[in-house]
Amino acid sequence: MTVTKPTIGQSSGWGQILNDALDSLDAAITAIDTDTVGPADHNLLEWAYDPALAVNNSLPTAGTVNWVRIKVRRARTVTNVVLYVATAGSTLTSGQCFAALYTGDGNLLSDTGNMSTTWNSAGSKTMPLNAPQSVTPGNYILGFVSNGTTQPAFARSAGSAIVNVGLVGGAAARFGTANTGVTTAMPAALSPMGPVGVGWWGALS
């Protein structure tokens, strides 16, 4: 169980007191519900799902934006986006590999720098945003694109089309693809947004 904080001005003394109280309540609930592992247990702010469920990996299509929706449960400042490279890329094109944070409807908030060297090795990749973002409760999108000889294989769940079951319309999907032919910059808007049967893992920190 997670306590959802109301949106309160951070400069408000009463708002800060309430936020601190809700933090304490969150900690108390977590201590009682010992079976629940949350993002904070992995030193993360939010995630798409428990990384223990990421039991497979896939190569994205070069130049296509793949994305995963992440729910933010309270006001936060997001400094990094996080992906896991299961198998390193090979001869990735410099200046054509990026990740980014988008609003829930696919508008760019901030992207990362070039990731072509970073994704040439396996492991967890914490990628700083060019501009940290103050976010409020709601849905956000982590998008990423790569280009090169062999794309990096990113961690994902074992699911297929079922990962978007019950979600109608591309923009409502939990996992999807968007723009194609992307090279030197992340698109300002994701379009067209369509579902994909690949449950990418991603997180915010």
Q: What is the pLDDT of residues 105-130, one digit of tens each?
A: 999 999 999 999 999 999 999 999 99
Residue 22's pLDDT is: 73
Q: Please tell me whether residue 37 adopts helix, strand or coil conformation.
A: coil
* CA dihedral angle for residue 129, residue 107, residue 165, residue 26, rounded to 10 degrees: 50
Residue 36's pLDDT is: 82
DSSP classification of residue 200: B
What DSSP element (H or E) covers 31?
helix 13-32
Residue 29's pLDDT is: 62
Q: Where are the domains of the chain?
A: 1-36, 42-204
Q: pLDDT for 62-77, tens place per residue?
A: 999 999 999 999 999 9
In the chain, DSSP assigns E strands to 46-47, 56-58, 66-72, 76-87, 90-92, 98-103, 108-111, 123-135, 138-145, 148-150, 153-156, 175-177, 194-195, 203-204
Residue numbers in the chain where pLDDT is lower than 70? 1-12, 15, 26-35
Residue 150's pLDDT is: 97
Q: Please tell me whether residue 145 adopts helix, strand or coil conformation.
A: strand
Reported CATH class of domain 42-204: mainly beta
